[in-house]
């Protein structure tokens, strides 16, 4: 028999994860990187750092049906490098890693949706949408 998680517990689990982004004295940040995600969020970051975006504080609204939706994400108006965005890493304001995930454009199935994954040095990086979901099981 499979493990199943009711909605109130899924909400609590999603909220616990995203609330860690708000640890520390200021807003968290998200790094946009090229290539594939490393083996785990505890592994060293890989790929080229394309840019760093500042999150709202708090970063996410309370979860509904196991899904937490990010608040406003301040775009990076001057990308650090050119390349194709492939994954992101989230840091709290102390620089501690909280999570990472896949990036795509709309319809591409990424955890975070950018207006474009083709990043040009000096250009803008903008998040269209971003959710964190705790599955029902």
What integer pLDDT is reported at residue 8 of this predicted model? 96
Q: Where are the domains of the chain?
A: 7-131
| DSSP conformation class of 21 | G
CB 101 within 8 A of CB 129: no
- Provide block-wise average pLDDT over 10 residues at a time, the chain (137 residues): 91 96 94 96 96 96 97 95 98 96 95 97 97 90
Q: 18 by DSSP, 3-state: which?
A: helix
Q: Nearest CA to 19 among 51, 79, 54, 61?
A: 61
Q: For residue 132, what are the β-bridge partners?
A: 68
Query: Model-level pTM?
Result: 0.93
Determine the Cα–Cα distance for residues 126 and 77; give it in Å rounded to an integer: 8
What integer pLDDT is reported at residue 2 of this predicted model? 84
Q: Nearest CA to 127 among 92, 93, 103?
A: 103
């Amino acid at each position: 028999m499979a493990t199943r998680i009711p909605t109130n517990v899924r909400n609590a689990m999603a909220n616990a994860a995203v609330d860690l982004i708000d640890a520390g004295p200021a807003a968290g940040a998200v790094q946009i990187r090229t290539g594939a995600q490393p083996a785990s969020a505890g592994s060293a970051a890989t790929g080229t750092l394309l840019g760093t975006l500042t999150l709202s504080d708090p970063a996410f609204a309370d979860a509904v049906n196991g899904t937490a939706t990010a608040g406003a994400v301040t775009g990076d108006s001057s990308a650090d490098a050119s390349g194709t965005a492939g994954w992101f890493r989230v840091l709290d304001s102390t620089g501690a890693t909280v999570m990472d995930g896949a990036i795509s454009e709309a319809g591409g199935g990424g955890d975070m949706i950018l207006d474009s994954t083709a990043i040009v040095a000096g250009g803008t990086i903008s998040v269209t949408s971003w959710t964190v979901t705790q599955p029902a099981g």
